[in-house]
Structure formats: C-alpha cells, structure tokens
Amino acid sequence: MSRGPGFRVDVLEGARIALFSLRANRLRTVLTTMGIGIGVATLLAIVGIIQGLNTSFHRQLASFGANTLYVSKFPWMIKGDWWKYRNRKNFTLDQVARLRTLAPFITAMSPSVSRLSDVSYGGEQMSTVRIQGVNHEYLSISGFDVTAGRFLTEADEEVTRPVAVLGADVADRLFPGISPVGRSIRVDNRTFQVVGTLSRKGKVVNESMDLLVLIPFKTFFSSFGKGRSFEIAMAVEDAGQVRAAEDQLIGILRRIRGTPPGEPDDFNINKPEAMAQTYAQLTGALYGVAVGVGLITLLVGGIGIMNIMLVSVRERTREIGVRRALGARKRTIVFQFLMEAASVSAVGGLLGTTVGLGTAKVVSLITPLAADVQMTTVMGGVFFAALVGLLFGIWPAARAANLDPVEALRYE
Amino acid sequence: MSHASGEGRLIQVEDITRVFHVGGEEVRALRGVSFGISRGEWVAIIGQSGSGKSTMMNVLGCLDTPTSGRYMLNGKDVSRMTDDELAVIRNEEIGFIFQTFQLLPRETALANVELPLVYRGIPARQRRERAKAALDKVQLTHRMHHRPNELSGGQRQRVAIARALVAEPSMLLADEPTGNLDSATGEEIVRLFEQLHQAGHTLVLVTHEPKLAARCPRAIRLSDGQLVADGPGRDVALGVGAGAAVGGA
C-alpha cells in the first residue's frame, strides 16, 4: 500500500499513546515497573559483585607477575592423591644450577622455601609469619620493590648471613614509627639483622601478601633444617614467552631429573595464570547459579508485564475497535502495545540499574568484596529490561491486533 | 433486472452473501443481496433484529468481508482486499457514526476528531486545523478541549459526526445514530444529517426505526438476509406502495 501512513506513524503514534496510557495509570505503571526493576537490580548487583571479585582476583594475581613460572614437585592446586606428589624426589640446588645454564631464556631464577614462624622485636611479637628463603634474584620475580635499605645479595647467600628483608605488614607491626633497618629481630629464637623493607602488595583473596620475612636461601636451610622440598621461582622476559618457556622447561627438567622416556613428569610447572583457570572452574558454577537467580527474578518481572498488558488490552478492547474502524492497521496496534510494554520495562531497567549499582556499592563498602560494575553491564541492564518488556509484550500486543474490529466495537 | 451498470455508482454490491459458523451451525446472515448507491444519496437500511442489517453495515463499512459476491466501493473491489488494505479503505472512504458514539474517553473532543487524520499520516498542525474546521461544522468548537464525559449525549454524537467528516470520506455510515439519544436531541442529529445531505454528502443510515427511515429519500429493507424492498423512504419504511417491492421499478 503506497498511500498508507507507514512506519513513522506507527512508531510516533505508538510512543505517544504508550506514554499517555502510562501517565493515565500511574500506580499500575509504578508497580509494574518495580517488578522489572527488582529483577534488573538483582541481576546487576550480582553481576557487579562477581565482576568485582574477578577483577580484584585478577589484579592481585597479576601482582605475582604474569611473566613468572614456579617449578615444584607439588602443583599449586592439588587434585587427587597428595602422597603421589609428596613421594616425588625433591629438587636440589645442584639441579637449580644446571637449570640456570641450560635455560638461558630464564631472566631471573631463585629457589624458594618457606615456613610459618613467630617473629618478635623487643616486646612486639607476631605469629604465623611466612619466613621465605630466596636468593638475590627473587626481587625481580616477586614484583616487590625495596622501600628502605637493600635487598638480599649474592654475598649474603654465599656466607649464609643471618639477614632479613621485611614485608610491609611485619615492618609496620614490629617497628611502628621507626626504621627497622639495622635492627635485630628474633625468628623462632634465632636472630636476624634487618637489612631492608619491601613495598606493599595488598591482599589476594583476603590473604595478605605482606606478612612475610625474606632471608637468604642457604641461611634458611642452615637455620631451619636441610632436605626440605622447595620450589624454583623464575621469570621470563615478558608474559608472551611463558608458554614457549614452559614447553622448553619440561624437556630440560626431565633431563636434569633423569626422568625415563614414557614416564610422566615428576614435577609441576605452576603459573599464576593456571591458578586463574582453577579459580574460574571453582567459581563458575556458583556464578551461574547466582546469575540464574537474577534471571528468574527478571522473568517474574516480565510475566508481570505480560499480565498487566493483557489487562490493558482487555480494558481497551473498544478503543482498539475504534482505532481499527478509523483506519489503524494491525501493525499500528501492535506497535502501540509493544511501545507501552517496552517503555514500562525500560523505566524499570533504569530504576533497577540505579538500585543495583547502589547495592553493589554498599556491599563493597561493608564487606571486603570489591564491587566493580562496568559500563557495558549498565547498558546491558537497560537494554535487557526493554528486551524483556518487548518479549513479554508480544503476545498481548498480538492479541490486541488480532481482535475482530466488529467484536471489539461491541465489547462492553 | 433493474440494476444498470454499476459504473459511476459510489457503492455497488452484487449478490453478497455472508455465512457465519456458530457452534458448528451455519448461519446465513446475508443471502444474495444486490443494490447500488449513487454519490450524494441518503439511504436508510432498515430491518428488524436478525434481518442482516448489522452484517450489511459491517460489510459496507469494510469491517467485515462477504463470503461471496462483489462489493465495489468508489471503483475499487473491496470484497477481496487484505486486512491492511481494508484499514486504508476505512480511513479514506468511510466515516463511521455509531449508536454509542465510540469516542476515546481519555482524549479531548479535538483529539478524538483528529484520530482518522493520524492514521492517514497527516502532520500535527494540519490535523489540528482540519479537526477544528470539522468541529465548526457541528457547532462544537467551544467544547473542543473537553473530554467526552464532560459533554452531553447530543454533543458527543456531534463530536463523532465531526470525526466522521474530518477525513472527507466518500460516505458517512451511521449505525442507529439516534438510538442512545432522547427524541429532542435525536431530532437535532437528524436535522444535522439533512444539512449534510443538502451539502452533497453520501449518507447510509442503518436503523430499525421506521420513523427515522421515513425521513430518508430512499430506504432499503432487509428481511431474513434478503433485500425485500427498495424505494422512497416513506413507502419502504411504512410498508406502502407496490413500487417498493424487490425487482420492481
């Protein structure tokens, strides 16, 4: 039909009638809007908190260094039989030295061993502090900076000096307001001289990265006993080389440890990135459920919209008949009701977005969870709400349009 | 038969039937009705309830399509048109006037009158001017910003007539237009129809009231789904004059 008024009229008139009708039924509009709003708010709050968790996890994971690898006889996340890993041969310093010469692509390498000990200075005492034995190269692998004094040196290692570099938590607790450098602390009844302090890294999954004392690796062994299992921390030039380095390392490590061909590796190469995968596996199902709950809330809101639209269509049956008699096409009627449904939902979406963001913000203030809502999520929320409105508006709108004009005009 | 060529006639229905299926039963509301109406005529369609006059009115108004037969309106065969095409025809060719007025309760008189122009895609300012002019024809410009519930029955029907006139359709189709009005107000509306007829409008009036039909220059009587009389309004309505019989003249 070339002479028909066309799409522009459908949309403009649809929007005008929709707004008119929403204003005419304020209370109903508000209630319907709340339904969809609560749905969007729930979904947004959940997604916001999840995104916050993920972001902080990944940011903190990155503080381990994306270009680092950790070789050990234990994997970081043990699945299955711990004894299988326990019975593997320990790494030796000799193996570390051989690895150093065979793997020139490793830019920094340090053996690393740790235990939890009590640490004290004067009257101050701290328990369960991680005491970690490492060499002078560990600084560049760890991602720490030295804030005062110096880091461990090759000489410290050679002559097994009883020196220590303090993590920020330890320095703050034992030496409030004074410089720890040059002072002596006690670690499990052994004396260490503080030579430096480290920058603060913060928390990873609620565990402080700064509650530690670094001492020379050999000093650790002579102080707390040899024959312990240790891991080898190493860094490559940049994160892009990690995969290639890993492949080469497997071959080199098998040679060094004399693993017969056909036997499985008797070591694990641990990466912060692999931890992220495990984290994603562990939390993915949980997130799925949470998002599912949010979606169900939204679905309930959508059914509310559909319900109210069906009422609206019934109430306005005669109006529909009149409009059809005066020349409204089916399409025009469909648009009228779809616009109504979509605008209620979009308003609800906007409302829900505000409430959802607020909730996520409040959660991040009163709990350690860091909410982080991205712009795409907000836009998604409003868009999604309007989409739900459209979707649940289709059936009522189609019913309205398919009314027989003769019957509709007669409707009491 | 008497029907000369339909050419030039505004309305030409030929052998129209309309069959409804109600609960597995066939109801033949119209069984082969033929007649023509020329431009400028004022014709009443009368009959008792169940005579098929409401069905005839729905078919003439393009709200319903015949089961068989042909309906030519203003040179167009509307008996086989699609739903969308019929909507356009209703908008352009027909001005409806209903017994219960059928005004939108939440809109003002002016907005109600504008409605047919909205669906014709006419810009808002032009719409407003034309709606005011139509309300002027029924002497209601002073009430144009009132809602229907603030108007009397007669005023509401005049708004409805203005709405029927505004898009300048080929014919006005009125369904018991005085049915919901007291006799004095009804008389007012009939006078208005007389004026419209004198101004050259084509009027088709569906009614069961012989007194009303008697005032029309021509009337068609339907009974049991068939045309049983067609002639001067007075004769057909009051059942006198052999010339009124079908196939006569």
Residues 6+ apart with CB under 8 A from B119: A5, A9, A13, A323, A326, A327, A328, A329, A332, B87, B91
- A284 and A394 share one domain: yes
Contact A197, A176 (CB under 8 A): no
Among A7-16, A22-31, A229-238, A351-360, name the one with the lowest average pLDDT: A7-16
Tokens, residue A154: 């090759």
Q: Same domain, yes or no, for A33 and A81?
A: no
Which member of A4, A13, A319 has the closest CB to residue B118? A13
Are A251 and A297 in the same domain? no
Q: A385 and A343: one domain?
A: yes
Check whether residue A51 and residue A103 sit in a common domain. no
Interface residue B35 vs chain A (CB under 8 A): no
| Residue closest to A132 by CA, chosen among A156, A158, A104, A111 | A111
- pLDDT tens for each residue of B133-181: 999 999 999 999 999 999 999 999 999 999 999 999 999 999 999 999 9
Question: pLDDT digit string (tens) for A351-398?
Answer: 888 888 888 788 778 876 666 666 777 777 788 888 888 999 999 999
* Percentage of chain B exceeding pLDDT 90: 87
Mutate which: A3, A315, A326, A409, vs B, most B CBs within 10 A? A326
DSSP-derived secondary structure letter, B124:
H
**Count of domains forming chain A:** 2
- Residue in chain B closest to A401 (alpha carbons) equals B83
Tell me, yes or no, whether A93 and A202 share the same domain: yes
Here the ipTM equals 0.92
State whether A15 and A82 are in the same domain: no
For residue A178, which amino acid is it?
I
CA atoms within 13 A on the CB side of A324: 29
Q: What is the mean pLDDT of residues A317-336?
A: 93
Q: Taking the CB of residue B162, how many other CB atoms lie within 10 A of it?
A: 26
pLDDT given at position A205 = 62
**pLDDT of B249 over the 80 cut:** no
Please report whether residue A264 resides in a domain.
Answer: yes
pLDDT tens digits for range A283-298: 788 888 888 888 888 8
What's the whole-number average pLDDT of chain B? 91
Q: Give A309 or A29, the one with higher predicted confidence.
A: A309
Reported as a pLDDT band with limits 50, 70 and 90, residue A147 is very high
Kindly list the residues from chain A whose CB atom is less than 8 angstroms away from the CB atom of residue B116: 326-327
B139 to chain A, closest Cα gap in Å: 22
Q: Are residues A110 and A216 in the same domain?
A: yes
Task: Write down the pLDDT at residue B4.
Answer: 45
Q: What pLDDT is recorded for position A204? A: 66
Final residue in a domain of this structure, among A271, A288, A314: A271
Q: Cα A36 to the chain's mean position, in Å?
A: 27
Whether residue A1 lies inside any domain: the answer is: no
Average pLDDT over residues A115-125: 91
Do residues A121 and A188 share a domain?
A: yes
Looking at the fold, whether A87 and A195 belong to one and the same domain comes out as yes
- Tell me the whole-structure pTM to 2 decimals: 0.70
**Overall average pLDDT of the A20-25 stretch:** 80
For residue A363, the enclosing domain spans 6-60+277-410
Q: Nearest CA to A401 among B10, B84, B115? A: B84
Per-residue model confidence as pLDDT tens digits over B52-71: 999 999 999 999 999 999 99
Burial class (CB within 10 angstroms; exposed 0-12, middle 13-18, buried 19+) of A111? buried
Please list, in sequence order, all residues whose beta carbon lies within 8 angstroms of the beta carbon of residue A139, skipping any fewer than 6 positions away.
Answer: A146, A151, A152
Answer whether residue A102 is part of any domain: yes
Least confident of A270-284, B124-138, B199-213: A270-284
Fold of B39-65+82-238: Rossmann fold (3.40.50)
Per-domain boundaries in chain B: 39-65+82-238
Query: Does A109 lie in the same domain as A225?
Result: yes
**Which run of H or E residues covers position A173?**
helix A168-174
The answer on A281 and A267 residing in a single domain is: no
Asked if the model's pLDDT at residue A229 lies above 60, the reply is: yes
What's the 3-state SS for A76-90?
CCCCCCHHHHHCCCC
pLDDT at position A94 over 50: yes
Q: Which residue of B has its CA nearest to A1?
A: B85
Question: Does B64 sit within 8 Å of A321, measured CB to CB?
Answer: no
Residue A4 has pLDDT above 90, yes or no: no
Q: Do B91 and A326 make contact, defined as CB atoms within 8 angstroms?
A: yes
The pLDDT value given to residue A372: 66
A9 contacts in chain B (CB < 8 Å): 118-119, 121
Chain B contact present for A333, CB below 8 A? no
pLDDT of residue A369: 67
A-contacting residues in B 71-90 (Cβ below 8 Å): 83-85, 87-88, 90
* Beta-carbon contacts of residue B52 (< 8 Å; ≥ 6 apart): B18, B29, B30, B31, B33, B222, B224, B225, B226
Q: Which of residues 296-325 of A touch B (CB under 8 A)?
A: 318-319, 321-325
Beta-carbon contacts below 8 Å between A and B = 73
Q: pLDDT class for A39, splitting at 50, 70, 90?
A: confident
Q: Is A8 on the interface with B (CB under 8 A)?
A: yes
pLDDT over 70 percentage in chain B: 93
The predicted pLDDT at position B242 comes to 42
- Residues whose CB falls within 8 Å of the CB of residue B196, separated by 6 or more in sequence, listed in order: B161, B165, B172, B203
Indicate the residue of B61, B102, B118 with minimum beta-carbon distance to A9: B118
